[in-house]
Structure 1
Amino acid sequence: MRNKKWILLSLWVFLPGLFHSCQEETVTAEDPELLTRQEVQVEELMADLDAMVDEALFLQLNPLKAATGEGDYFRNSCPVVTYSRSDGTRVLTLNFGEGCTGRDGKVRSGKIIVTSGSFEESGFEREKRFDQFMVDGKKVEGRILKTITFDRQTLLRTASVEEEVTLTFPDDKGVVKRKASLTREYELHFPGIGRDNLMRSWGTVEVTRLNGIKFTKTITQENPVVFLVSCHRNVSGVVTFTTSDGRSWSLDYGDGTCDNLATLTKDGESKTIKLK
């Protein structure tokens, strides 16, 4: 009888921990809708970071706008931005401190640190790193390399973007390792003129989750993903997902409308899903 009580007590102590560990990573390859929703959050977070740093750089390098410290999309008094030059290296630091809310309503903390030989000239590589940086509870680690060229005929900025980033979601919702090789075009306008900034991206993204799920995202130049900065969302373009065990499906962001809807197609069947 004593042995039975000991077994029951051991199970009572052990099972809650087992149950909790099973709940930590609930996204599976068999659930493309849930996996897609979370990956869209990651994709849009990365685009948001890119646009936010560009806005901070513009304000820092433009004396007239720097006096106000206000951007169109992200920056108010948050974050504190510093810019330094030494030995041919430029360093831009966005310091969100223990946490502050930007114009977009998102709460950020920690630092983003961007270094380059030049922010003003075309062809220089920029390196973006993170120091205890978090967005709405999501922790971002790793680095992003970006090299920009400028076409004086089309007035388009084009960048090659290489990402090696780890994102940790709050509430035990998983850890995502992301390796991306993208081409990104920018349509940027001066603040306050009433025209929206947008970014077009295409290329490949390799994603590995903590629970072993691996998949690749492919975006073609003919149908790039378009991120509308004022909307803070992807609004058009098609992404193809392929998992390491051969499953595949696609996500169509639509016609450019700023909403949280997209069309997921798998095995010839399509349905409209809400992204977040």
Structure 2
Amino acid sequence: MKITKFTFLAILCFAFALTSCDKDDTQETEPQFNFSSEDNFRAAQADNAIDGALNIVENGYVEGEEGRSQMNSFFNECTIITIQPNGNGGTIILDFGEGCQLNNGSIVSGIINMSYGAITGGTRTIDYQFEDFMYNNNSVTGGGEIFREIANSNGNPQSTINESIVIGFPNTSITATRTGLRIAEWVEGVGSGTWQDNVYNVTGNWDTELTNGFNRSGLVTEKLVRKLSCSFLVSGLLEVTQNNFTGVIDWGTGDCDNLATLEVNGQVYDIVL
């Protein structure tokens, strides 16, 4: 067949059009990660606030029922602790009033209610509920159940916590709901008589959903470390899945600070809590 100059140009344009379409299609189907510093900050802040609040729950129970840390309490005089045993269990109420600074520097207010049954086989179940509670300017509502082991397989006290907790943030109507499972093993400071050397290793998995539509799933891949003397998690890795992407939140290497990072596709984003 004889190919004229016009025919050749037509074929060339058609081929270019196909190539352009293929390229556009590839670009359109290739997923893009849209980083929102506000949403990731809120989700990380929710993690930190919930972990801090649950440590307060655990230490309220430990000091009130197990009688630990009596030489040097985690709670100061602005905390009213009411313990009501009933023979097979009892209740503990932690009342922080309109504002109370704990001995580790955390600022809290409101009430935490706990009720617990009898010890069976070295374990007991504790129900907890937050009432008008605030942790470092974040509102905390909801609650859950704690399966408390006096000694786990390592010989350490351990709390396995089911949670459904809502965090409210300052200066916004957006809230975060976290549901999941948190396991806290008390690994240092057991029986020392003071809270200042208490260290907990935290594992588990949970889903966090913001009311603006942002959501992510988290799985602890390297234990999160909480020193009770610090208001923040100090180390550990949390693998997160959001917007069809998987990333890792790194809480640091042990220093007590308000910094964390999120790494996605080799890009590192700073998170200031």
Residue in 2 aligned with 1:249?
247
* Mapped contact 2:49–2:136 kept (Cα < 8 A): no
Q: Structure 1 261/195 Cα, relative in aligned 2: closer, same or farther at 3 Å?
A: same
**Structure 2 CA distance for aligned equivalents of residues 255 and 118 of structure 1:** 39
Residue in 1 aligned with 2:90?
90
Structure 1 unaligned blocks of 5 or more: 1-28
Task: Find the structure with the greater CA-based Rg.
Answer: 2
Q: Kindly provide the amino acid, as one letter, of the partner of residue 30 in structure 1.
A: N
Say yes or no: does 1:60 pair with 2:60: no
Residue 97 of structure 1 and its aligned partner are, at CA, apart by: 2.0
Residue in 2 aligned with 1:104?
104
Q: Kindly provide the amino acid, as one letter, of the partner of residue 216 in structure 2.
A: F
Q: Kindly provide the amino acid, as one letter, of the partner of residue 176 in structure 1.
A: A
* Mapped contact 1:128–1:144 kept (Cα < 8 A): yes
* Mapped contact 1:40–1:275 kept (Cα < 8 A): no
**Structure 2 CA distance for aligned equivalents of residues 128 and 194 of structure 1:** 21
Corresponding residue SS for 1:59: helix
Q: Please give the residue correspondences for 1:33-52 in structure 2 after superposition, counting only pairs within 5 Å.
A: 33-52=37-56
Residue in 2 aligned with 1:138?
138
Q: Please give the residue correspondences for 1:121-160 in structure 2 after superposition, counting only pairs within 5 Å.
A: 122-151=122-151, 154-160=154-160
Say yes or no: does 1:30 pair with 2:27: no
Residue 100 of structure 1 and its aligned partner are, at CA, apart by: 2.6
Corresponding residue SS for 1:75: coil
Residue in 2 aligned with 1:23?
none
Structure 2 unaligned blocks of 5 or more: 1-32
**Structure 1 CA distance for aligned equivalents of residues 39 and 258 of structure 2:** 16
Residue 172 of structure 1 and its aligned partner are, at CA, apart by: 1.2
Q: Kindly provide the amino acid, as one letter, of the partner of residue 133 in structure 2.
A: F
Residue in 1 aligned with 2:165?
165
Residue in 2 aligned with 1:275?
272
Q: Structure 1 108/32 Cα, relative in aligned 2: closer, same or farther at 3 Å?
A: same
Residue in 2 aligned with 1:204?
205
Residue 62 of structure 1 and its aligned partner are, at CA, apart by: 6.5
TM-score (norm 2): 0.76
Q: Structure 1 33/130 Cα, relative in aligned 2: closer, same or farther at 3 Å?
A: same
Residue in 2 aligned with 1:234?
233
Q: Kindly provide the amino acid, as one letter, of the partner of residue 123 in structure 2.
A: G
Corresponding residue SS for 2:157: strand
**Structure 2 CA distance for aligned equivalents of residues 249 and 63 of structure 1:** 41
Residue in 2 aligned with 1:225?
224
Say yes or no: does 1:117 pair with 2:106: no
Q: What's the C-alpha RMSD, in Å, of the aligned pairs?
A: 2.8
State which drifts further: 115-124 or 204-213. Answer: 115-124
State which drifts further: 211-220 or 185-194. Answer: 185-194
Residue in 2 aligned with 1:6?
none
Corresponding residue SS for 1:81: strand
* Mapped contact 1:145–1:163 kept (Cα < 8 A): yes
Question: What is the number of residues matched between the two proteins?
Answer: 240
* Mapped contact 1:145–1:162 kept (Cα < 8 A): yes
Give per-residue Cα distances to partners, 1:247-275, cap 9 Å, x unaligned: 3321122322223333321112235x252
Residue 160 of structure 1 and its aligned partner are, at CA, apart by: 1.7
Give per-residue Cα distances to partners, 1:172-192, cap 9 Å, x unaligned: 152111102122211243456
* Mapped contact 1:90–1:119 kept (Cα < 8 A): no
Identity %: 22
Q: Structure 1 191/40 Cα, relative in aligned 2: closer, same or farther at 3 Å?
A: farther
Q: Kindly provide the amino acid, as one letter, of the partner of residue 213 in structure 2.
A: G
Q: Structure 1 61/88 Cα, relative in aligned 2: closer, same or farther at 3 Å?
A: closer
Q: Kindly provide the amino acid, as one letter, of the partner of residue 36 in structure 1.
A: N
